[in-house]
Amino acid sequence: MHIWSKTLLVLLAFFNCIFYAQAQWRIERKIIIEDGQFYFFTVDDETQLATLYSGLVSQKLKGAKKRLFPIGREYTEPFNPLAFDINADEFVGVNWILNSMNGRYDAIKKISIKDWSKGRADWTNEDWGQASFDMPVAAPNDPWERMLEVNNTLENCFFDIIQSNTLVMGVCNQGQLWIKEYKGNIWKNRAEIKVPFKQCFTLINRPNGKIGLLDAHANYYQIDEQKNELSLIQKGNYVKAQIVIVDKDKKENYLIANEAIEAGIYNSLDQVIKESAIKLH
């Protein structure tokens, strides 16, 4: 083999390794599919700022568009993954960046994804942080405030948010879970439940209109609002870290190992789901 051929092979291997290292995505909580597009976030350890990845579900994952987004979360332990949802190009989520200018009461933000489709090459991390603080408020963060009124000692404290026709937030502290719905500019109580888990959870809109909850071990529950309890639907206890895929086009939800996404970067998300995802009923 000619020297230049060997050199070319080495360079190709080198660049493949670089890309694969860059593709070690620590995806925040879930992937959302809507109108044939996928969306997911990663968060930088130091800046606390989020990066949005998006693309067609039929294209290779490695071709995902990547851009900074004016939202983020803190990295205190135990941390709460980015709490968010996306509907009709509108992001709604909790901006939990730890900063004196980021008030917790105004932390639930709504952001047009289209408005932030272009980068701001001249912006600093401080500019992005300030932009996140200035985003419009989707709803006052009363669920957090009411939780603090009941018990302001934070222990195993986690939260998540989802939206369909209305905004729903779940806040858990010391084994007590509150589920609240924002309707008519008022937060209304939907359930108060004693829960066994001591780690983060993810709320899911189920196809039957009920609210599902996935714990950190991928145990899947339905929230029984009449009995104020969790009803187990599917048992999890997966060893590998799992994330949720919310397919709003098909009205289906899936569970998938984060490493399956990483291993499938040269495939489309459609194919990765078909080969590796587990449907949540």
- Domains present along the chain, CATH in parentheses: 3-280 (2.115.10)
Calpha distance 160→112 (Å, rounded):
20
Q: Is the pLDDT of residue 124 over 80?
A: yes
How confident is the prediction for the chain on average, in pLDDT? Answer: 89
pTM: predicted TM-score of the whole model, two decimal places? 0.89
Report residue 24's pLDDT band, with 50, 70 and 90 as the boundaries.
low
Q: State the DSSP H helix or E strand holding residue 143, giving kind and residue range, or none if neither.
A: helix 142-150
Mean pLDDT (whole number) for 43-54: 94
Q: Is the pLDDT of residue 270 over 70?
A: yes
CB-based contacts of 87: which residues, under 8 Å, 6+ apart?
A: 34, 163, 164, 248
Q: Is the pLDDT of residue 9 over 60?
A: no
Residue 164 has a pLDDT of 86
Mean pLDDT (whole number) for 74-100: 91
Mean pLDDT (whole number) for 51-79: 92
Task: Count CA within 13 A, CB hemisphere, residue 192.
Answer: 7
Structure tokens at 128: 């992005």
